[in-house]
Amino acid sequence: MAGNRTFTMIKPDAVSAANSGAIIKLIEEAGFRVVAVKKTQLTEERAGEFYAVHKERSFYKELCEYMSSGAIIPMILEKANAVEDFRKLIGATDPKKAEPGTIRNLFAKSIEANAIHGSDSDENAAIESSFFFSGLERF
């Protein structure tokens, strides 16, 4: 059975463009409850740990530089079928391919600076949530 929590973070391009409020509004209107939220900034090394699965990809170094270039807003979200429904809400990785009305279609600047992250499995949602939050920070 699909779990009811997922992990997201609003990425540096969307935070610096002052789009985080509009993005959180869309998330809440889509029925997700914010369980945990904070504003923070990754070092390049921590960004590298978060995206370790992409270590061998050509864009890895650039991605780590970008993800540590400014503030991010990580969040844990709750809703039935959270992971799958949230991936639909954010749209495809490449904003040119993201469906109209999805968060990446509305706010992403490029395939790299694509406004928002969404976990791709229940297992990764749990791992990524623990990367940023302790049990005490979840409500």
Q: Which residues bind ligand IDP (CB under 6 A)?
A: 59, 63, 93, 111-112, 114, 117, 120
93 annotated to a ligand binding site: yes
Nearer to ligand IDP, 5 or 117 (CB): 117
59 annotated to a ligand binding site: yes
Q: Could you tell me where the DSSP H helices lie in 30-113? A: 44-50, 60-67, 82-90, 103-107
Rg of the chain over Cα atoms, rounded to whole angstroms, equals 14
State CA 59 to chain mean position distance: 18
3-state helix, strand, coil in the chain (%, to 5): 45, 15, 40
Least CB distance from residue 35 to ligand IDP, whole Å?
Answer: 20
124 annotated to a ligand binding site: no
Nearer to ligand IDP, 99 or 137 (CB): 99
Nearer to ligand IDP, 127 or 139 (CB): 127
The answer to whether 39 and 73 are in contact (CB under 8 A) is yes
114 annotated to a ligand binding site: yes
* 117 tagged catalytic: yes
Least CB distance from residue 96 to ligand IDP, whole Å?
Answer: 12
Q: Please list the residues that pair with 75 across neighbouring strands.
A: 8, 37
Catalytic residue among 10, 23, 117, 128: 117
The answer to whether 85 and 79 are in contact (CB under 8 A) is yes
Q: Which residues are annotated as a binding site for ATP?
A: 11, 59, 87, 93, 104, 114
Question: What positions carry a catalytic annotation?
Answer: 117
